[in-house]
Structure 1
Amino acid sequence: MLYNDPHRWGFTFQANAQMSLAKLHEQPAKAPVKVMERSIYSARYCFVENLYKNKILQPVEYEILKDWFEVLISNDSCHLDLIVYLRTSPETCLERIKTRNRPEEQSITLDYLYQLHECHEQWLSSRTRTVKTPVLVIDADQTRERVYSETNTHLINLASC
């Protein structure tokens, strides 16, 4: 839906994503470390920003999503202790998307992946970023096994602190 008609579905998709991610943040941790693939923060600072920059979101939709984000993060369940950034080149992302071969991802372009990569770089690598949570950057262009091993090592160290 989103990729085929972003102007129609951008706001709807992103509002649903924020709601779903907020619910995940609210779920109690079942282990000493709670790991999430994406967070409400990446939704706000990468996906919402990219939609707005590309004029897919109207200014009023952008403001609604920003305000809603602020309300959602005022809940302590959205607190982050660490952001693990699996930095992956857009080319590697596209290759993995093609390997997964999911029908809903067929229209994702390399240009779109470059845009999202730039949003993540700006959000997580910038000294001016708004989220002051520490960021661990892992080179995810490596093999799946190497990325898993490196990530797991850091998470074990975090859990033992």
Structure 2
Amino acid sequence: MAKIIVIEGNISQGKTTLMDGLAKKLSQLQKKVYVVKEPVDKWQEVGILQEYYKNPKENAYKFQTYAHITKINNLVSLQSSLSNYDYVILERSIDSDILFVEANRDNFTDVEYQMYLDWCSTFRPLVKSFDFQNATFVFLQNHVETCYQRVRSRNRAGEEHITLDYLRKLEALYNKYMSEKPNKIILGSNLDIDQKDFRVNGEHRENVVNYIISQL
């Protein structure tokens, strides 16, 4: 059965770049790797991501529910072939979706919040083959101000509405969430990821990837 590696962290920390670099290195080591990225393109295609950032009060429940369902669908389609791979690398766990809901709690009615929790409980058994209990979590721990500047510079549709306050809420929620994970690799000041941006610094990206592999 494949070993699950989950890349976790705030918005605009380079998760996708890191996943690609890690997958490439593991493949060079003769490992069979499958990468599962968040279906951001699909969220943008239907327009819900842009609508959510534009009017979170109106669209938080719609977006978070749709995001969770599409991520579940990605895992369901992979589930039957897990044994074909040595590693499956995920961009965020479905279990960390709740952090984004909690950061948006003021934008959910009590009814919507309970409905969301019920949806998650209903869908969870569909991906029971994914052993998240024994997964390795790689936690990107950039300073929140760095995340905010990167959000601004990458100019993704809809993200111009992301606030520093929202990122700070996510940071606090993530720190608590990750503190409870027994199998984790923290990437922060130990690898100077604020000053050395591995998204554009190939040498540093390789150093970060090698560090992760040494900890697996």
With the shorter chain as reference, the TM-score category is 0.7 to 0.9
Specify every segment of 5 or more residues in structure 2 that has no aligned partner in the other structure, as ranges. Answer: 1-50
**Alignment partner, residue 134 of structure 1:** 183
Q: Which deviates further from its counterpart, 9-18 or 86-95?
A: 86-95
Find the aligned partners of 1:77 and 1:16 in 2 and give their Cα distance.
22
So what's the TM-score if we normalise by structure 1? 0.81
> 1:3 Cα shift?
1.6
Mapping for residues 139-158 of structure 1, pairs under 5 Å: 139=188, 140-141=193-194, 142-144=196-198, 145=201, 146-147=204-205, 149-155=207-213, 158=216
Specify every segment of 5 or more residues in structure 1 that has no aligned partner in the other structure, as ranges. Answer: none
Map Cα deviations across residues 85-136 of structure 1 (whole Å, 9 max, x no partner): 11121111111112211231111111111111111112112xxx4xx55222
Q: Could you say what the CA RMSD is over the residues aligned between the two structures, in angstroms?
A: 2.1
Label 1:151 to 1:42 Cα distance change in 2 as closer, same or farther (>3 A): farther
Q: Which structure features the higher share of strand residues?
A: 2
So what's the TM-score if we normalise by structure 2? 0.62
Mapping for residues 5-20 of structure 1, pairs under 5 Å: 5-20=55-70
Equivalent residue for 2:124, pick from 63, 67, 73: 73
Label 1:155 to 1:58 Cα distance change in 2 as closer, same or farther (>3 A): farther
Q: Which deviates further from its counterpart, 83-92 or 19-28?
A: 19-28
8 A Cα contact 2:185 2:215, kept in partner: no
- Higher RCO, Cα 8 Å, sep 6+: 2
